[in-house]
Structure 1
Amino acid sequence: MCERKEPLKAATQFINMYFQGCDAALLAGSVIRGEATATSDLDIVIFDCSVPSSYRESFLALGWPIEVFVHNFSSYKQVFKSDYERARPSIQRMISEGIILEGEEIIDPIKKEAKEMLDDGPEVWSTETIRLKRYFITDTLDDFIGSSNRPEEIFIANTLAELVSEFVLRTNRKWIGSSKWIVRALEQYDPTFTAQFIEAFDSFYKHDDKNKVIKLVDEILQPFGGRLFKGFSMGKR
């Protein structure tokens, strides 16, 4: 791979090489947030009215791995809707944060649309959804408490951590994430809780101590009625 160019210059040159004539483009991701690492890529969002539907494509160019997200002026709305429904607004975040490279007049209203959606937060969970999530967390916690098989415990803990993070964020009407975005979403919500969350699971992974995880789960469920098993039913007619 050739020597990396500065991100903005590389992104601009890349567009001229591969997407010349597009209606608008912006650079997003870790490089514009000041969070880039040695393995970071360039995330580039392209708007082109000539493409029939949204698509994603990966390149190696100008010393960078580059992820391109291509949309027309109706298909991006479908992606907005999909990301909103799953409460993971990746494209909204990219567009809201992104640095405009081409088509400022075109992208400005789309950036405003993305920011408004981010600020509003995801839809409120229904009482029934909260009840369902309580049951699944309880079921996974019971598996975690009862298991004495270390390899199984590790993967049960992974599942429990995702369920708990989702529950905390969604019951507070905050966006969720996956992988590294789980921690980022939690920190945006409450750094103090995030530290407690990390300490609890770290204690299990390092020292095989389940007590802090159990205590944490019980604390987050308590305001909603605690653990749920007896009386739970789903799909009964």
Structure 2
Amino acid sequence: MEDDKKLEPVKAAELFINKYFPQCQGALLAGSVVRGESTETSDLDLVVFDQKFSSSYRESFLVYGWQIEVFVHNQSSYKSYFLSDYERARPSMPQMVVEGTILKDNGMITAIKEEARRLLETGPKEWSAETVVQKRYFLTDSLDDFIGCNNRAEGIFIAATLAELVSEFVLRVNKQWVGNSKWVVRSLKAYDAEFTRDFVIAFDEYYKTSEKLKVVHLVDRVLEPYGGRLFEGFSNGKE
């Protein structure tokens, strides 16, 4: 059956839009296939703008030989996602829109792409001085757990938390977008390739050998310009 045969990405996406959203006002193909980073397990990410829907939703399909994730919006619902991404500093929706290949456009896509591009260039909401202090404390707390941990099983997951906190801190104090999962490294690399190399080496060494020193030095290096580790005197919520 045609629906089972794996087609070329753009062809599959076009057929999908014509079949499932024939009346939509606009559609984009985004994700790894557009960036040239697809793997055997990559799916197709589609962003659809269809005014007949009163609210946004997400749905998954298996068709044309592809796993397809479709993100459906009307001509205004996407704005709340742009705002949410700005607040949480993870630009999932704007990134998809900016990088997306246009599949269908009834005259609205250019303006939405420009809106997304401006948001990406502006960067995320800046951390307040109070937030920087709080993040220093939580990063210090996680580092202390890491240093003091003698249980390998627990250490693996403390290190994972520490890595995420370090990457978030580095990016956010420099007003950069953050990511999770594979986007932790991608976001860091987009900001500072040399630091990213040191970051990966430090945690890779810990996971391979249980040696913690490089991770500890890395965290201290990150915290030092902002006052270093923080414990004594920290308070949160006290009236």
Q: TM-score range by the shorter chain?
A: over 0.9
AA in 2 matched with 1:91: M
Alignment of 1:20 onto 2:22 = yes
> Which residue of structure 1 aligns with residue 155 of structure 2?
153
Report the alpha carbon displacement of residue 104 of structure 1 after superposing the two structures with TM.
Answer: 5.5
Alignment correspondent of 2:42: 40
Could you tell me how far apart the structure 2 residues matched to 1:123 and 1:81 are? 10
Match of 2:146 among 144, 147, 169: 144
Note the C-alpha offset of 1:195.
0.4
Aligned to 2:10: 8
Identity %: 62
Structure 1 runs (4+) deviating above 2 angstroms are: none
Within 2, Cα distance between the matches of 1:153 and 1:39? Answer: 30
Matched residue, 2:172: 170
Q: Which runs of 5+ in 1 are unaligned?
A: none
Distance 2:102 2:68 in 1: 16
Displacement, 1:2?
2.7
1:3 deviates by 2.8
CA distance in 2, matches of 1:114, 1:148: 46
Structure 2 segments unaligned to the other structure (5+ residues):
none
Deviation string, structure 1 residues 110-151 (Cα, Å, up to 9, x no partner): 000000000110121111000000000000000000010110
Aligned residues: 237
| 1:105 aligned counterpart, secondary structure | coil
Aligned-pair Cα RMSD in Å: 0.8
* Distance of 1:143 and 1:26 partners within structure 2: 45
Residue of structure 2 equivalent to 1:188: 190
Matches within 5 A, 1:55-134: 55-103=57-105, 105-134=107-136
Closer, same or farther in 2 for the Cα pair 1:104/1:111, shift >3 Å?
A: farther
Preserved CA contact (<8 Å) 2:25 2:106: no
TM-score (norm 2): 0.98
Instruction: Report deviation, 1:214.
Output: 0.2
Instruction: Normalising by structure 1, report the TM-score.
Output: 0.99
Give the letter aligned to residue 147 of structure 2. Answer: I
Return the alpha-carbon distance in structure 1 between the equivalents of residues 104 and 29 of structure 2: 10
1 CA distance for matches of 2:106 and 2:224? Answer: 48
Deviation per residue, 1:74-131 (Å, 9 max, x gap)? 1100111111100001010000000111116210000000000001101211110000
